[in-house]
Amino acid sequence: MLRNVPGSIRIARLLGIDIRIHFSWFLIFFIVVLSLADSFGAENVTWSDTKSFVIAVIAAVLFFLSVLGHELAHAVVARRFGMDVSSITLFVLGGVANLAKEPPSAISEFLMAAAGPATSIVIGLIGIALAVFAPSLIQSAPALQPIQPVAKYIGTINLYLAAFNLLPGFPLDGGRVFRSIVWGILKDRLAATRIAARGGQVVAALLVLAGVVLAFRLDATINGLWLAFIAYFLWNAATSTLQQERITSVVSGAKVGPLMTTDFKSTPPGVMVGQVIRELV
């Protein structure tokens, strides 16, 4: 789990948890707003550019609030199992909850990891349902017409978010669910971590392959590059987890005694500092 991410600022405090925004979040927020403004304008030709932009800003804010809800779900379940959550940081790839320690058991990790995607699925289904029933509301109140495209976007993007997060690659939520299952079967957290991290590397490699196909075969260069960027982040996180697991495996059986320094030198209080330095150096 990550500590307070460098370059982030605190914007609020909910349920005793600091809500922070990394500077990279502003970049992705700007990109999402521009993309939505263009999409809403194309789908609703009667809207002015200003209206499309304002609705896009509202939709983008709702999307990132749903990402925050996803992370808060992780945090609430984590606290039920005695894990302190000091902060949640929104950044370019979504959000991350800062846990003080790893889950104490396989079942606690399973429930904590599953809580986020489950929340996204619920939000997604509510959004889709609202989009389906919005036309009947619009007939009696035309001013509510923007509800339909915004609800459709929020519903769709949250279902995509849940599906992506459930990919079985550590440290994605799906990777943590996978690790908890392997942990429960093997009764060995380190072995489960190693297997799940390898899964993360496999998922990262497949995302790179998908990005190449999008960029060169389907003329979706931006989407392809975005997938490659996510894959790079995932590969690094999985590799870092593997390295930490190796270090833990090596030192877990070591005793402190052989690593301690027991040959201490003492110096009378009247000796000059310069002499002590010359003798020791």
Q: Which of 43, 71, 102, 109 is labelled catalytic?
A: 71
Specify the pLDDT at position 215.
80
Q: What is the pLDDT of residues 147-170, one digit of tens each?
A: 999 999 999 999 999 999 999 988
- Per-residue CA distances from 245 to 196, 217, 250 (Å): 11, 38, 9
Domain ranges of the chain: 1-166, 168-248
Instruction: Please name which of 89, 116, 84 lies closest in space to residue 102, comparing C-alpha atoms.
Output: 84
- CA dist 124 and 246 (Å) reads 39
Q: What is the pLDDT of residues 4-61, one digit of tens each?
A: 567 888 999 988 899 999 998 998 999 999 999 999 989 888 889 999 999 999 999 9
Specify the pLDDT at position 56.
95
**Most confident region among 9-13, 14-18, 177-181, 227-231 by mean pLDDT:** 177-181
Mean pLDDT of the chain: 86
The answer to whether the CB of 93 falls within 8 A of the CB of 230 is yes
pLDDT at 222 over 90: no
HSE toward the beta carbon, residue 59, CA cutoff 13 A: 31
Count CB atoms within 10 A of the CB of residue 230: 20
**Active site includes 71?**
yes
Express as a percent the part of the chain with pLDDT over 70.
86
Enter the tokens of residue 151. 């609800």
